[in-house]
Structures are given as C-alpha cells and as structure tokens.
Structure 1
Amino acid sequence: MQTSLLRELVVGTPVAHGQLQKSVNRYLPGPATQCQYSTATSKQMRLRTNISETVKRKLSLGARILRVGGVEKVYKQFFSVGEGERLLKVSQCYLSTTSGPLAGFLFISTEKVAFCSERSVKVFTQKGHMLRIRYKVVIPLKKIKSVNQTENVQKPSQKYIEIVTEDNFDFWFMGVLKYQKTFQYLQQAVSQV
C-alpha cells in the first residue's frame, strides 16, 4: 500500500510493537462531515445488524480490563506514564478519522490526553507488510491550545469535543459517555498546566 493511502487510514502517531512510527497527516473532518457519515442509512443498517458483535466486543473488552486489573493498569500498559502522573478520567468514545469513527478510550491524565482504539487496525508498511496495531493518539497537555464543545446544528443531541493543538491540528471526539463530565475534566487538566 502506498504511503499516501497509509496517511488516509491513520490519524495521529501510531505505535506498533513498542516502536514509534513516523507521524502521519492528522487532518480530521469537522462535525458536519461526521453527521453525514453517522446518519447515512446504509451505515445505520449495517450498525443495526452488528449489534450482537458490538455487545460481544464490549463484554470482551470489559473482561480484558478486569483481567489486567482495571483501567489504570490498562492505561499504564498502553502508554508510558511519567513519575507522579495520575489518571484523572477515562471515557469511552469515538475518535473521528478520515476513515470514519474509531471506537476506543479517551484517557485524561495530569500530563496528557490519550486515545487508544478498542480494537487493532490494519496498516501497511512501505514494503507492503501488514501490521495490526492499536490506534493511539497522545497529546501532551502543554501542547493543547483549546478544548471546545460543539454540537450538530440539525441534531443537538449529537455532541462533540474538539481538541486543538498549538500546531493547529484538530482532534474530534464524539459519542463520549458522560460527555459533560469528561469535558469538565479536560478543561480542568488543561487549565492546570
């Protein structure tokens, strides 16, 4: 697969087998695009037919979290944790990518905001080898310019959290469980830096 296609598939900085790969284009579409994606009839029908698969994945994920010893240990397993860093909040959500929403966890700590996909995704190296990696995004709190709330104008119940970095990259999170509480934790974490 060509590098340009890899850039279309991956947002943020993917980490595979403990090695940091090159940062790729981190363009994220705005909420209007997400609205079109998430309300398309064919996508809704497909989602409805996969409800049992979704439930199985959620149960499997819950079992994995229990097996590891809780979300804090999962966080430490997926991300490097600095001395004195504390995990403040974890929320299930979707990260908006150019390929569509990606289910996972949003971690808010005293040092960073991090996202890790629920399932691994396929990426291809320049030599054409396929890798399965957890899709991860790490944003140091000191690099965050703003955290914004927004909603779909046509469907106000669809709310989004936008994180804008100092280098003007946008990260859009949607379907956030406990939306208001998660937003408050984000604001609090960013304001303390």
Structure 2
Amino acid sequence: MINHLDTKDNPYVHYSSASTSPNGKSDKMSEVLDRCGKRFADCSKMVEAAADGIWNHLKLSSSVTDAAMARLHQGTKLVTEGGYKKVFQQTFGFVDGDKYLDFFACYLSTSSGPVNGTLYISTKRVAFCSEFPLCYYPSPGEPQWILYKVMIAVDQLGKINASSNLMDPSQKYIQVITRDSHEFWFMGFISYNKAVKTLTDALQRSRA
C-alpha cells in the first residue's frame, strides 16, 4: 500500500492506474506455471547458484510468500507477453533509437517502504516499475490500484554508487543520483554485481 503520492518535487516518479488488483492475475499465472513446470525444473541449477541472492531479495518483503509470488509473476511475463523487451516498451513507451539491454528484480526504497519490482536498463533510459499494482487511498473509502514507476533518461544520470550495510554486508544497495540531485535507492538484487556493471556502463555511455 502507498500511503501518499508525492510527485511535486520529483519529475522522475510516475503513477499509472491499474484496472485490477494483483489477485486478478492468479488464474493466468497458474495456467502458465502448469505449462512451464519442466522449464523451471531445468533451471534448478541456476536457482541453486543464485540462492543467496534470491534469499536476500525475498527477505526484504514483509511477506516472503508475496515476494515469491511476485517473482513467479515476473517469470510468466516472459511467456505470456513476449519477453521483457516488449514489457519494457509497453510499460514505458517506445523511444526511437533506444536499445533494450537488461532487467533486474529488485526493490525500490520509498517513504512507504520497499516496493517490489523490476529495474529495466536500455541505452537511453533507466526505469523501474512495481511488480504488482499498489493500493492507494486518495480519499477515505475509495481505494485505487496504481503502478509505481520511475523513469530516468540516461543523459540525466549523475552518479551510480554501490554500497552495503556495514552490520550485514549481504545487504547491498545501489544509489542512483540524477544530475539535478534526485536520489533513488535500489536493493534486494538477485544479480547485484551485474546490475552495478550495467548501470555503470550506462552512466559511462552518457558521459561519452
């Protein structure tokens, strides 16, 4: 749930209405998982290799079950919507000359707590979208479902800082600072090192 919306001072944060709550996708997800069971089994070795990253990702959520379901839902997009390149373009629009590069499961730190979602990186944009619609109450008794989005043009990137919790080095973060001094903290990466490199490369390209 998002307690409040505040885009007044941050031009990179956006919200879009979602027609249904997360529960509306459960049947479709079940059908896809039934068809793709063998594919998940074939990926078991990769899952085991990434076990630490997956656990660090899941434990950020207030509900491990909800976080796990979000990741399963994310996986079904590859099958049902034609891959993450199309999901990225459908979510953030098409920009001429923009080349999709990669995506990363992670959390975005917000004033209402960590938001579970996906970070997309292309040659022209760094973008984040919540995995499920979030509940927001613009007025008492009138809930709305929204997608929480961040979109930063690569040429607006100022700094990419990698850091970790001194008390628990397994908790790693990526701070993205724009040229006009807006900050975004991403955490809970399953592929942290790759995410750092991809973001750093995007920053270097923007300066070139």
TM, length-normalised to structure 1: 0.73
Greater alpha carbon shift after TM alignment, 118-127 vs 80-89: 118-127
In the alignment, what sits opposite 2:5?
6
**CA-based RMSD:** 2.6
Conservation of the 8 A alpha-carbon contact between 2:137 and 2:143: yes
Aligned partner of residue 102 in structure 2, secondary structure: strand
1:63-95 deviation digits (Å, cap 9, x = unpaired): 233100111111011011211111111100000
Give the partner amino acid of 2:100.
L
1:11-39 deviation digits (Å, cap 9, x = unpaired): 85223249xxxxxxxxxxxxxxxxxxxxx
Give the partner amino acid of 1:6.
L
Distance in 2 separating the partners of 1:147 and 1:67:
33
In the alignment, what sits opposite 1:152?
165
**How many aligned positions are there?**
160
Aligned partner of residue 6 in structure 2, secondary structure: helix
Q: 1:103 aligns with which of 94, 109, 116?
A: 116
- Equivalent positions of 1:77-156 (< 5 A) are 77-125=90-138, 129-156=142-169
Distance in 2 separating the partners of 1:54 and 1:164:
27
Matched, 1:73 2:86: yes
Distance in 1 separating the partners of 2:180 and 2:139:
27
Matched, 1:63 2:76: yes
Conservation of the 8 A alpha-carbon contact between 2:17 and 2:144: no
Would the alpha carbon gap of residues 53 and 164 (structure 1) be closer, same or farther in structure 2, given more than 3 Å must change?
closer
In the alignment, what sits opposite 1:185?
198
* Structure 2 unaligned residues grouped into runs of 5+: 19-58
In the alignment, what sits opposite 2:33?
none
TM, length-normalised to structure 2: 0.68
Distance in 2 separating the partners of 1:76 and 1:55:
25
Aligned partner of residue 5 in structure 2, secondary structure: helix
Would the alpha carbon gap of residues 146 and 54 (structure 1) be closer, same or farther in structure 2, given more than 3 Å must change?
closer
- Equivalent positions of 1:167-182 (< 5 A) are 167-182=180-195
> Which structure is higher in strand share?
1
Distance in 2 separating the partners of 1:100 and 1:183:
22
Conservation of the 8 A alpha-carbon contact between 1:14 and 1:133: no
Give the partner amino acid of 2:81.
V
- Equivalent positions of 1:29-44 (< 5 A) are none
Runs of 4+ in 1 over 6 A off after TM superposition: none
Matched, 1:16 2:29: no
Give the partner amino acid of 2:71.
K
Conservation of the 8 A alpha-carbon contact between 2:14 and 2:149: yes
Conservation of the 8 A alpha-carbon contact between 1:65 and 1:71: yes
Conservation of the 8 A alpha-carbon contact between 2:4 and 2:136: no
* Structure 1 unaligned residues grouped into runs of 5+: 19-43
